[in-house]
Amino acid sequence: MVDFRMPSLGADMEAGTLVEWLVKPGDQVKRGDVVAVVETQKGAIEIEIFEAGQIEQLLVETKVKVPVGTPLARIRTGSDAGAVSVAPPSPVPIEARPAGAVPPPAQAAPAPALPHPPPMAIAPGAPRRDRVSPAARLFAQQHGVDLAAIVGSGPAGAVIRADVERSLEATTTAAEKKRPIGLDLDAMRTAIASAMARSKREIPHYYLEHQIDVTACEQWLASTNAARPPEQRLLMGVLTVKSVALAARRFAAFNGFYRDGRYEPAAAVHVGMAIAIRGGGLAAPALHDADRLSLDQLMTRTRDLVARMRAGRIRSSEIADSTITVSSLGERGVAALYGIIYPPQVAIVGFGKVVERPWVVDGAVMPRSIVTTTLSADHRVSDGHAGALFLAEIGRLLQEPDKL
C-alpha cells in the first residue's frame, strides 16, 4: 500500500487545491495515468500517478486545499497482495485477503476518511418548492446552478429545466470568453514574480549572444513544407528547440538543476518552452526528451502543448521537470531577449526575430537570414567559455537542418 501525495509542482508551491478526481476507489491505474486535477498558482494541473495498482481509498475531497506532501489517495500496489494481512498501514480496517485474491470491488472499499460534503442545501430565498420542476431542480443540483437567480418561464412562473440550462450556458460562455477555464492569471503573475525574484536574488547570471545564420533552415523549411498540407507543416520553432536539446545533451553544465548548494546534471533533456498566455501570463511546460524526438513528433507535441497550456490543461510532469528553457520572443518582433533563469534550472536560451541582413559569405556580401541567439546561464555551474561553446554548437546544428 502506498500513499499518493500532493506533488510539488515547482519550488514555490506550498499547497494545492484538489479540483477533480478522475478515478474512484477500485479503479486500476498505471504509471503516468492522470488521476486528478489540482489548482495551483500555475493554473489547473493534471496530476499523474507514478505507481501502478488499484485505488484503495480517496483521502481528500474535492475543493479542499492541502499542503504539498499530504496523502491524497491510498494505492494498493502489486507487492501488497501477500502483505495485506500482515500489517495494513491504514488505520481503517482492511479485510485480510489470501495472496492473489481478486481485487475488491469498488463498493467494498472503505469509506473516505473525510466526511462527504453536505448535500447541496437550497439557498435561502430560493423559489418555493412548487415553483421549480423536479427536472430543473436535479439539473441545477448537478451543475451547481443557483435556482434563486433564475426567472422561471414555466406555468405560474415556475422554473423549468430549459431555464436552468439557459442560465448555465450564459454564465459559462461569459466566463470562457474572458479566459480559459483553470487559468488564474493573477495567481500566475504571483508565481512568476516569486520565481523570478528568487532567480535574480540567488542566481549569478551571465549573458552571451551569438548571431546565427538560419538561411539553411528557412530554405529547408520552405522546400519541406511546400509538399505538405498545412496541418503537417513545420515551424522554425521546432528546429531551434531541437538544436538546443541536442546541444544540451552534449553540454551537461546547462541541462540540470542547482539545488541545496550543488548542481545535478539531468540524465534526460526536457526542454521547457516559454508560452505566452493570452491576456497576460507565461508558462514553460516541458517537451519531454526533446533531443530524441523527430521534428514531426516535436511539432505535434508543441502544437498539443500550446493548445493545452492555453486551455489550462497541463500535466504535473510537464510543469515541474523542465531541465532547460527556450524562449522564442522573436516571434513578437524583438531582435533579442536576455532571459531570467527559471530555478532550479541553470540556463535559458532565447531566440530573437529572424531578420534579413547583409552578411559576408566566402568573401562576398549577400542577404542572409540572421537570428540573434542568447544564453543566460548560472555562473555557479558554468563559465562564459563553456557557454560560448554551447551557443556555437547550437549555431552549428542549425546549419544542417536536415540532420536535426
Q: Concatenated DSSP letters for 339-366? A: PPP-TT--EEEEEEEEEEEEEEETTEEE
| 368 lies in the binding site for other proteins (CB under 8 A) | no
Name the grid cell of 26.
477500485
Q: Distance (Å, rounded) from C-alpha 258 to C-alpha 12?
A: 15
- Judged by CB under 8 A, which stretch of 28-36, 118-126, 300-308, 374-382 contacts other proteins? 300-308
Q: Which is nearer to other proteins, 70 or 171 (CB)?
A: 171
Evaluate whether 42 touches 66 at the Cβ level (below 8 Å): no
Q: d(Cα 301, Cα 285) in Å, to the nearest integer?
A: 11
Answer yes or no whether residue 237 interacts with other proteins by CB under 8 A: yes
Which of helix, strand or coil describes residue 36? strand
What DSSP state is assigned to residue 144?
Answer: T
Looking up cell 496530476, which residue turns up?
A: 47
Q: Smallest gap, in angstroms, from Cβ of residue 28 to other proteins?
A: 36
Question: What is the smallest separation between the CB atom of 113 and other proteins, expressed in angstroms?
Answer: 41
Does 178 engage in binding with other proteins (CB under 8 A)?
Answer: yes
Smaller CB separation from other proteins, 181 or 388: 181
Interface stretch with other proteins, choices 59-67, 130-138, 235-243, 287-295 (CB under 8 A) = 235-243
Q: Sign of dihedral through CA atoms 142, 148, 154, 156?
A: positive
Dist. CA 354–CA 352, nearest whole Å: 7
276 is a contact residue toward other proteins (CB under 8 A):
yes
User: Judged by CB, which is closer to other proteins: 122, or 306?
Assistant: 306
Interior/surface letters 375-398, b for 16+ CB within 10 angstroms, e for the rest: bbbbeebbeeebbeebbebbbebb
Question: Residue 329 or 386: which CB sits closer to other proteins?
Answer: 329
Query: 176 or 400, CB closer to other proteins?
Result: 176
Q: Scanning the structure block, which residue is given the C-alpha cell 551569438?
A: 210
Spatial separation of the C-alpha atoms in residues 107 and 16, rounded to whole Å: 28
Residue of 133, 167, 302, 376 that binds other proteins (CB under 8 A): 302
Our finding on whether 280 is near other proteins (CB under 8 A) is no
- Of the pair 250, 278, the CB lying nearest other proteins is at 278
Interface with other proteins includes 226 (CB under 8 A)? yes
CB of 282 to other proteins, least distance (A): 13
Contact with other proteins (CB under 8 A): which of 90, 141, 194, 225? 225
Residues in the site for other proteins, rule: CB under 8 A?
A: 176-179, 222, 225-226, 229-231, 233, 235-237, 276, 278-279, 302-303, 306, 331-332
